[in-house]
Amino acid sequence: MVETKEEKKRDFQELLDPELASLFRTALRMTRNREDAEDLVQETVTKAFAAFDRFERGTNFRAWVFRILTNTYINNYYRVRDRRNIPSLEEMEEESFFQPVAEGITPEEALLNSLTKDDIIEAIEALPVEFRAVVVLVLVEGFSYKEAAEILDIPMGTVMSRLWRGRKLLQKSLWEYSTQRNDSERKNQEGWTVKKP
């Protein structure tokens, strides 16, 4: 039985509605701009609806629509952005990101206690796109390695590698945010003047 246009629209909307907030959140983290994120989601929804006839009912709609989102982002946005210099694995492994902390507290707990939600969002948004996409899909949106690999159309080993490097870059950025904040607070407590940027 052939589905009418209204039935197709209704079925699509039922599957899409629960994913819209996550799609927008992910688009915002990818584009780092509300207007671009709205455009990216709109383009994703348009493409997904146009391709909905090819979507296999009963399979993972969430992974399917996120794949359209990431492909659209990579095709339309990433090619116009500057590529950042990414440190090599050797450089990252040689650096020590954490200093000793108080007994009974892990370095991660000490770091997270000194950061705000905005610091964490800013650090994720500053990641190079190939790492940011994996970090957002796996750590923020909760996709499995396999699902992220399908969404990004890359091998699962590449997802794991990019996630590892993305975590290292995040760790470094968050440590820098934390130490800068602690230095500023210490200077303020000691009566030093802190120049505002």
The residues spanned by each domain of the chain are 5-80, 89-189
The string of pLDDT tens digits covering residues 48-106 is 999 998 888 888 899 999 999 988 888 775 555 544 444 444 444 444 344 444 455 55
- The C-alpha atoms of residue 197 and residue 180 are separated, in whole angstroms, by 13
Which overall architecture, per CATH, does domain 5-80 show?
Answer: Orthogonal Bundle (1.10)
The two three-digit tokens of residue 166, written as one number? 């993305």
pLDDT of res. 89 = 41
pLDDT of res. 111 = 52
pLDDT of res. 75 = 78
pLDDT of res. 8 = 86
89-189 is a CATH 3.90.550.10 domain: no
pLDDT of res. 19 = 92
Contact 123, 111 (CB under 8 A): no
pLDDT of res. 24 = 93
Residue ranges for the chain with pLDDT beneath 50: 82-102, 192-197
pLDDT of res. 44 = 93
pLDDT of res. 185 = 56
